[in-house]
Structure 1
Amino acid sequence: MSESPFRPREKLAEKQKYFQSIHRHTYLKGPMDKITSVAIPLALAATSIYMIGRGIYNMSHGIGKKE
């Protein structure tokens, strides 16, 4: 008793040829990989740099102190 394949072999071979023909890094080969591998980390880095800068500015000017 054999289980049917999840995806037809022809489609699998077609996808393998497509991904092997692209000469980019492995983590950027999919269609949505630029969002998850580039855009989200850049947004997080920019937000954290902004918040660190704002905190340093507030500390140097004495803004937002609790008394």
Structure 2
Amino acid sequence: MMPEAPFRPREKLFEKQKYYQNIHRHTYLKGPMDKVTSVAIPLALAATSLYMIGRGIYNMSHGIGKKE
């Protein structure tokens, strides 16, 4: 039986390992696109939810949007 070919060449793997080992940041922010998934999306969700909560409180205090 022949061994299965690796997904990437070893040289590329060593380059990636060196890249990630030399960065002195938190582990969840080491990739190039990790700031988007770890920081921007949660901030956007938090801002949207705070806006909607504020709008709901404003509407309730002024009696806007009540159903008959």
Q: TM-score per shorter chain, which class?
A: over 0.9
Residue identity in the other structure for 1:63: I
1-structure distance, mates of 2:3, 2:13: 19
Q: Identity of paired residues, percent?
A: 90
List alignment gaps of at least 5 residues for structure 2. none
Q: Distance in 2 between matches of 1:54 and 1:3?
A: 58
Q: Which runs of 4+ in 1 moved over 6 A?
A: none
Structure 1 portions without partners, runs of 5+: none
RMSD: 0.6
Query: TM-score of the superposition, structure 1-length normalised?
Result: 0.96
Which AA in structure 1 matches 2:6?
P
Rounded to whole Å, the distance in 2 between the matches of 1:32 and 1:12 is 19
Distance 1:64 1:8 in 2: 62
TM-score (norm 2): 0.95
How many residues end up aligned between the 2 structures?
67
